[in-house]
Homo-oligomer: A and B are copies of this chain.
Amino acid sequence: MAKNENSRVMVPLDTAYELVDAMRAKFYDHLPHEKISIDDALSRRLYSDIISMERSPRQHISTMDGYAVKAGDAYPLELIGEVYAGDMPDHIGHGKTVYITTGAALPEGSDAVLRIEDAKLEGKQLSGLPVEQWTSVIKAGSDFEVGDHILSKGTVITPAMIGLLHGAGIDEVEVYRKPRIAVISTGDEIRNGMTKNTNAPTACAMLKTWGCAPECLDTVRDTYEDTVAALDKASSQYDAVVTIGGVSVGKKDFVVNTIVEGGDVVFHGYRIRPGKPLLVSYYKGKPVFSLPGKPTGAFTAMELIVSRFLRGELRNAGVCLPVSSDLEFPKDGFEYVVYVKIIGDKAVPMGFPDSPLKLFKGPRYGVSIVSSSPRSMVTDGFFMAKENVKAGTLVNVQLL
C-alpha cells in the first residue's frame, strides 16, 4: 500500500486543507451528473457552464414614468398615445411622443424617456428639459445577450441564481448527482445502547445541509472482521464514507488498523483540538473520513475537514465579539477550536475536560456542561485560537 509522509505525522490545518482540496478536485471529476429542472436546482452544484438562451431585457425598458422621446427631437412633441408595461408599442415618428410607464417597452423610434416631473403638457403638446440618448432607459441586452456566459461549472445554485436562470431562458441544468455518503458508527457501547448514538445523526444532518445524500448504516461491532466488512461494503456502494470512532491507538481501534492495512492514508492526525486523531484516507478508491468518537472532535472534523472536502473554501462569515473569560492554552503547536454560546454579546466558551482549557461553569448552564457531550455541540459558533486569550479580546466567531 502506498503510504505518504503524512500518514505518520500530525499535519497542521493548512496542510490538511491542501490535501483535502486535492481530494475534492478528484472527487468531483468522478462524480456522476444528471439533468434536472431548474425548479429542483436550488443548492445543487452545476456540472457545466451556463450560457444564456435569452436577451435581457428583451426590449429597451423605461425606468421612469414619463414620455418616450427621440433624443434631439425639438420640442414641442405631439402626444399620440400611451404605453404600459406589457404593451407591445407601435413605432413612433419624429416629432411624436407617447406617455410611458416604468417597466414599459420603448416604442421603436424613441430612445430616451423624459421624466414626468421634467415635462410640461399643454393639450397634446409636450415640452420639457432636453434629454440625452438612453436617459431613464435600460437598454435591450444590457444585462445579458443570447450566448453570454452567466454561471460557471462548480457553482452551487442560490435563490438569486434560480431567478437568473429563469431570466436566461434555461429550463434544465446539468448538475452533479448529490454525493452519496455512508455514515458508519463503530463501537460496542453504541451498538448495545449503553451510549446513545448522537454523532451519526448529527453528521447525517450536516451532510444534508451541505447538499449530500447521506445514509446512516448499521453500527459496527468492535472486531476487525466486522470493520473490514463494513468498509468494503460502504466503499463499493457510496461515493464517500464517514466513519465515527476507533481512530485512536487502543486495542479496539479497528478502523485505523483496517485502513492502514487495506487503504491509503492521506493523513492521520491533524494539529487541531478537539479531534486530533482524525484519519483521512482512500479505501478501495473512495475517500474515507474517520472521525474520532468524542462528539466535539467528530463535529469539529465535520465542520473543518469534511465540509472543506465537499464544499471547498467558504468565505468565513463571522461576528467579532469579546470573549468572556481568560483562556489558557499550552504551547503545543495545536490550534484550538473553542465552541461558544453568545450571551449578552460576549462569546462564552464551552470547555473541554480533556484539554487544558478551563471548563465553562457559568450559572446559566450549571456546572454540568462537559464538552464531549452532545449538548455542548448546540452552540452558537466557534473561534480558533493558537495562544492564550485574555477576557475581553475580540475573537471572530464563525456562526453555526
Known: A162-B205, A354-B63. A84 touches B196 (CB 8 A): no
The reply to whether the CB of A159 lies closer than 8 angstroms to some CB of chain B is yes
Q: With an 8 A cutoff between CB atoms, is A154 at the interface?
A: no
Q: Is the CB of B56 within 8 A of A166?
A: no
Interface secondary structure of A, over-half rule: loop
Contact A373 B142 (CB under 8 A): yes
A373 touches B143 (CB 8 A): yes
Contacts A187-B85, A317-B317, A318-B317 given: A56-B373 contact, CB under 8 Å?
yes
Let me know if A325 is at the binding interface, CB within 8 A: no
State how many copies of this chain the complex holds: 2
* In contact, B250 and A373 (Cβ under 8 angstroms): no
CA distance A27 to B263 in the complex (A): 55
Asked if B159 and A84 sit within 8 Å, CB to CB, the answer is: no
**Assembled-state Cα–Cα distance A58/B197 (Å):** 12
Instruction: State which of A18-26, A124-132, A227-235, A375-383 sits at the interface with chain B.
Output: A375-383
Q: Do residues A163 and B342 form an inter-chain contact, with CB atoms below 8 A?
A: no
The answer to whether B373 touches A86, judged by C-beta atoms less than 8 angstroms apart, is no
Check: A201 CB closer than 8 A to any chain B CB.
yes
Does A260 have its Cβ within 8 Å of any Cβ on chain B? no
B101 adjacent to A250 (CB under 8 Å): yes
Minimum CB–CB distance for A122 against chain B, Å: 21
Q: Is there an interface contact between B163 and A295, defined as CB atoms closer than 8 Å?
A: yes
In the bound complex, how far is the Cα of B203 from the Cα of A318, in angstroms? 25
Residues of B with C-beta under 8 A to A201: 38-39, 162-163, 165-166
Stretch at the interface among A1-9, A69-77, A102-110, A330-338: A102-110
- Contact partner of A161 among B139, B378, B380, CB < 8 A? B378
| A166 to B189 Cα, complex, angstroms | 15
| Cβ–Cβ contact B143 & A167, under 8 A | no
Is A121 at the interface (CB under 8 A from chain B)? no
Q: List B contacts of A178 (CB < 8 A).
A: none
Residues of B within 8 A of A368 (CB): 139, 141-144
**Contact (Cβ within 8 A) B194 A299:** no
Checking B86, B320, B377 against A187 with a beta-carbon cut-off of 8 angstroms, the contacting residue is B86
Known: A85-B188, A160-B400, A320-B320. 14 other contacts (CB 8 A): A42-B205, A58-B195, A59-B194, A61-B195, A85-B187, A101-B250, A105-B189, A138-B373, A160-B299, A163-B201, A166-B197, A167-B198, A167-B375, A316-B319
